[in-house]
Structures are given as C-alpha cells and as structure tokens.
Amino acid sequence: MQICLILINDPKCVVSKVLKGLIFALQGHQDAFYVADLGDIKQKHWRFMKELPRVKPFYAVKCNSTNEVLQMLATLGTGFDCASMGEIDMVLRMGVPAADIVYANPCKQVSHIKYAAAHGVCKMTFDCEAELFKIAAFHPKAEMILRIATDDRDAWCALSSKYGALVEQCEDLLKTAKNLNIQVIGVSFHTGSGCKNTHSFCKAIEDARKVFEIGKKLGYQMRLLDIGGGFSGNSEFRPTFEEVRHVIRQSLNQYFPNNKEVEIISEPGRYYVESAFTVALNIITKKEVYEKGADGNSRRKFSYILNDGVYGTFLDFYLVKEKQKLKPLLELFPSNLWGPTCTNVDKLVNEFYLPELETGDWVIFPNMGAYSISMSTTFNGFPQPKVYFVLSKGDDKSAPKSGSCKIGLHRYFFLFNCTGLLINALTGVLGQDLKMPHLLSLMSIFEA
C-alpha cells in the first residue's frame, strides 16, 4: 500500500482540479470514485472550536467511518460518538482513550454493553427503564446520560419518535436509576439531522436544565450536557452553522452559565464530512425517448444510467426530504438519472432538466461525505467507489492558539494511506516513477 496524499495550498480549487486530473489520468477506468479533502475536515474542526468554544465535539462515527477520517479527527483531538460494539472497537484500535468515547445509543445489545464495560467505556445514554435494568446487571460502573425527546418535526431525519424520554417521565426514570445504584451524570438530546428550526435547540436546552434540577434534587451530580448534532456541513443549507451556533450559545449562557461544573459536548457528524467528499459518476448508458407533452407536441427526454446509485452512495440522498439542487448551465432536456442496479427504486433524479449528455460523460455530486460510504451496499455486485484523499493546507491562521487540535501537516504523511492506483495512473501521465516528493508538486496535472 503506497502513500497517496496530494497537498495543495488552495482549498477552493482542490476538488475540481483533482477531479479533472483523475478523470484524465484514469482513462479506461470508468468506475465511480470519491475525492475527499481532509483539509476541509480540519478547517471545519477549527471553525467548530471557534464558534462553540464551550462545546467539545464527539464525532458521530456512523456518519462516515472511513479510517482516514477517523484518524484525522483523532489527531485533531475530538471525542467519538459510537453506537455499537463495532464502532467502539474501531475507535479504540486507533488509540483513542475510552474516556473520549460516548456510547450514544439509548437501546443497547447486552453483549455490546459487556464489551463497553470490559474496555472501560463508561459514558452511555438511556431513555427507558429496560435499559437501566440491563446496565445494573452488566455495567454497574457506567456513567449514564438521560436522553430526552425534542421537537424535531422540522428536521430531515426526526429521531424523537424512536428515542428520548419526555420531560415528565424523567423523574421516575431517575428514581429507578437511584434505586438500582446507577450513576447518572447528565442529559442528552438530538434535534434531528438537518434541523431547520433553531428554536428546537432553545427548547431542548431549556428542558435539559429542568432535568438537571430534578437530578440534583435526587442527589445526582449532574455534570454533562450533550447537545447532539445534525448540523449541516453544506454552506448552502439554511439555517447556517453560524445561525445555529448563535442560538445555542445564547441558550447555553442562559440555562448553563459558563462555569466548570458542567461539561458540554456535541455529536456532529454531517457537519464535519459532508462538504469534504465529492463523488464522480460515469454515464454508462444513454436512452433517448420522445413523449407527448400537455400541448400535444412531442418532446425529447433522456434517461441516463450511472455507475452508482441508491444501493450504493446515494441511499441518504434518496431518503432525505430535500434533494441537492443541481445547477445545469446549457440547453436543458427533461432527464432521469438512474443507478446501475436492476431495481426501479434505484433512481437518483426524476424529471430533472439537464443538458444533453453522452455515454462516458461524468456527473459530479458535491457534499457527499455524510451517510454515503457508511450506508452503501454492494447489491448486484456493484463495488463501492474508491476514495482518493487530498489534503488542502488552507489558512492555518484560523487554527486555535492552543489545544490538541493544533498539529503539524507533516504528520499526515504517516497517517493516511489509500490505493496505489492513482500513483500508477499519474506515473503514466508524467512518464516517470512517482515518489513521495513528487506528490507535493502535482499542480501542473490538475491545471485546467
């Protein structure tokens, strides 16, 4: 396995130039592929620390568990939100301390609870009595966090229909925990992925304060607040991260005034990786049909079969309530975009107006880092797209003055590995044997 890391100074041009370079260099290899900019993740982390300085991020592993992403975030000093034994094991194997893991699944399999106990993972969530009885039996030293329900009706993915206790149920749950000698250390909530109503955060933080007071009256030392995640990593999404953090900071200052008694954490996933990943798909078949419109005249219509789809990268794209806004610039025709599998469910875009494309053309989808790789399958034998990692240097002036996230770029050369296919392809373009120093000066390949 060769190190394949391209360092480019201007983060604004990284993905487009690398995409062009790869499409040129990999002629004859029309498989779908990702370009992932680890520098974008690094910049997102510094932005998070700047905008929410009181909040420690615990990255949601389920969102994108690519090894390179996890290693980057571990190096930056984030914690990790894990939902299963498999995710906990993945993070522990990277050397992450058990104290930097929150087992944020309110309903856990007994064998997974035993694994967490054996490996010192103590922080975990619950929202019902049944979970407390399991914890008392199999992990009595656990530090439990009570998950409360929120108003997440305006979110893409509403979670409170499945998880979270109502505020009026919390006192009974805390009393049950007390009778079982279970330690409860705080409260968590999640307003849903892609939450559009910032007031949901206000109400959730207010409710968390109420539960804190109930816990204190029962003798608990309530010292942790988990404000969940769901923040978008797409700059075009509204409300923006800045708008959301403004509401969060105001509510935290009102209900949890700045002090050292309460640790505040969050579970961002989509925020970190969404914009870092771009996927390139190849058109493998073009179909042209004529159909009569409402005016009786025939119109041209196209169906394009792509080499990835709903059963691969685009399951989240299919499930969310709002699709990405594509921006065609040429003469437009009604078009359908299909994935490669044999089912009629595998449709990415229906009746969308696109310029006329040809078999062999590439269709680029940005903002594909969240719930794409982690949810993809190999149904019908179609492989998952390869990932080519690049690292944009960005503006290091935005880095915090202190903290574990301040790291040197040279460390990445020892952390991130991926397939040698790119090196082999670029060797053919340059006509020379590529070694590591050459990877630092590949801009000429990616010039338009």
Query: Are the beta carbons of 173 and 220 closer than 8 angstroms?
Result: no
Backbone angles phi, psi at 224, to 5 degrees: -140, 135
**Strongest mean pLDDT among 4-18, 54-68, 154-168:** 54-68
Q: What is the pLDDT of residue 373?
A: 83
* Three-state DSSP state, 273: helix
How far apart (Å, rounded) are the C-alpha atoms in residues 369 and 233?
9
For the chain, percent of residues with pLDDT exceeding 90: 46
Q: How far, CA to CA in Å, does 238 sit from each of 155, 233, 365? A: 12, 11, 19
Taking 80 as the threshold, does the pLDDT of residue 442 lie above it? no
Backbone angles phi, psi at 93, to 5 degrees: -65, -20
Q: What is the pLDDT of residue 407?
A: 31
Q: What is the pLDDT of residue 403?
A: 36
b/e for 126-145, b at 16 or more Cβ within 10 A? bbbeebbebbbebbeebbbb
For residue 276, the 8-state DSSP code is: T
Helix H or strand E segment including 59: strand 55-60
Which residue's structure tokens are 């373009």?
429
Query: Are the beta carbons of 170 and 146 closer than 8 angstroms?
Result: yes
pLDDT digits over 323-368, tens only?
555 554 466 888 888 888 777 778 888 887 888 888 888 888 888 8
b/e for 407-419, b at 16 or more Cβ within 10 A? eeeeebeebbbbe
Beta bridge mates, 79: 58
Backbone angles phi, psi at 49, to 5 degrees: -65, -30
> Which of 275, 166, 167 lies closest to 231, judged by CA?
275
Q: What average pLDDT does this structure show over 122-138?
A: 97
Taking 80 as the threshold, does the pLDDT of residue 433 lie above it? no
Backbone angles phi, psi at 430, to 5 degrees: -85, -20
Q: Report DSSP letters for 89-113, one per residue.
A: HHHHTTT--GGGEEE--SS--HHHH
Supply the Cα-derived Rg of the chain in whole angstroms: 24
Single-letter amino acid, residue 332: L
Q: Reduced to 3 DSSP states, what percent helix, strand and coil does the chain have, rounded to the nearest 5?
A: 35, 20, 40
> Which of 46, 9, 72 lies closest to 387, judged by CA?
72
By CB neighbour count within 10 A (0-12 exposed, 13-18 middle, 19+ buried), where does 266 fall? buried
Q: What is the pLDDT of residue 443?
A: 27
Taking 50 as the threshold, does the pLDDT of residue 430 lie above it? no
How far apart (Å, rounded) are the C-alpha atoms in residues 385 and 296?
43
How far apart (Å, rounded) are the C-alpha atoms in residues 145 and 131?
12
pLDDT digits over 283-326, tens only?
999 999 888 777 778 888 899 999 999 888 888 877 764 555 55
Q: Is 202 among the residues known to form the active site?
A: no
Helix H or strand E segment including 7: strand 6-8
Which one is catalytic: 13, 195, 342, 405?
Answer: 342
Query: Are the beta carbons of 133 and 153 closer than 8 angstroms?
Result: no
Q: What is the pLDDT of residue 385?
A: 85
Taking 60 as the threshold, does the pLDDT of residue 3 lie above it? no
| Mean of all residue pLDDT scores within the chain | 80
pLDDT tier at 24, thresholds 50, 70, 90: confident
> Which of 20, 400, 56 lies closest to 6, judged by CA?
20
Q: Domains along the chain? A: 9-36+280-388 (2.40.37.10), 37-273 (3.20.20.10)
Single-letter amino acid, residue 37: D
